[in-house]
Amino acid sequence: MTKRPYVIDEMISAKAIAARIEELCHEIHAEFRGTDKLVVVGLLRGSFVFIADLVRELDLPVEVDFLEASSYGDAMESSREVRILKDLRGQIEGRDVLVVEDIVDTGHTLKHVVGLLKARKPGRLRTIALLDKPSRRETDVKADWIGFSIPDEFVVGYGIDYAQRNRNLPFIGKVRFEDES
Ligand code: IMP
């Protein structure tokens, strides 16, 4: 847990997030129209707010499941070695799946999860990330839908934490350490 004081500068407003989710849901709806078996898989914990807003905007029959992969722990750097801490409750063989990630940073988490789920022989498997930091990528993974592409900044809010704090902010904010500004 950090003791360094920091402030949070708003980067993406709650209104902008809601508008973008509406747009994304039109595209997702077009992709999965007619499906009666979409499983929306949220990657814990950072995607819990995003997935809640996303499924309420999606006019499709959905099931919701969760998977937890280890990522940053309480630090600001990716561990790169991805472990599954909590697996899905349901089976996905033959089922359409939408994986919901908060941020694609190095890409190791999404790549690992997609590999794992593909091995279970789903129907269509698509991915969506609220945020993308392309300049940080260390893998060839790319989400099918992206909410916002952002620069290499550490962000919090809308489900995303810094050392387990600030998940409950309604907007995405950039962390700025006071001893750095
Ligand atoms: P990746 O495996 O490096 O792509 O890391 C993905 C995970 O790292 C995300 O799901 C987040 O949990 C975490 N992460 C990446 N960037 C940030 C950030 O700016 N703030 C908080 N968590 C982040």
Q: pLDDT tens, 125-144?
A: 999 999 999 999 999 999 99
Mention the CATH class of domain 14-169. alpha beta
CA 134–ligand 1 middle distance (angstroms): 12
Distances (CA, A) of 120 to 44, 108, 124, 125: 20, 19, 12, 11
Q: pLDDT tens, 76-93?
A: 666 678 899 999 999 999
Domain chopping of the chain, boundaries: 14-169
Q: For residue 161, give the ligand 1 atom closest to its CA.
A: 21
Q: Tell me the CA end-to-end span of the chain in Å, nearest whole number.
A: 21
Kindly tell me the burial class for residue 120, based on how many C-beta atoms sit within 10 Å of its own C-beta (0-12, 13-18, 19 or more): middle
Ligand 1 pocket test target in 2, 66, 70, 105 with most atoms within 8 Å of CB? 105
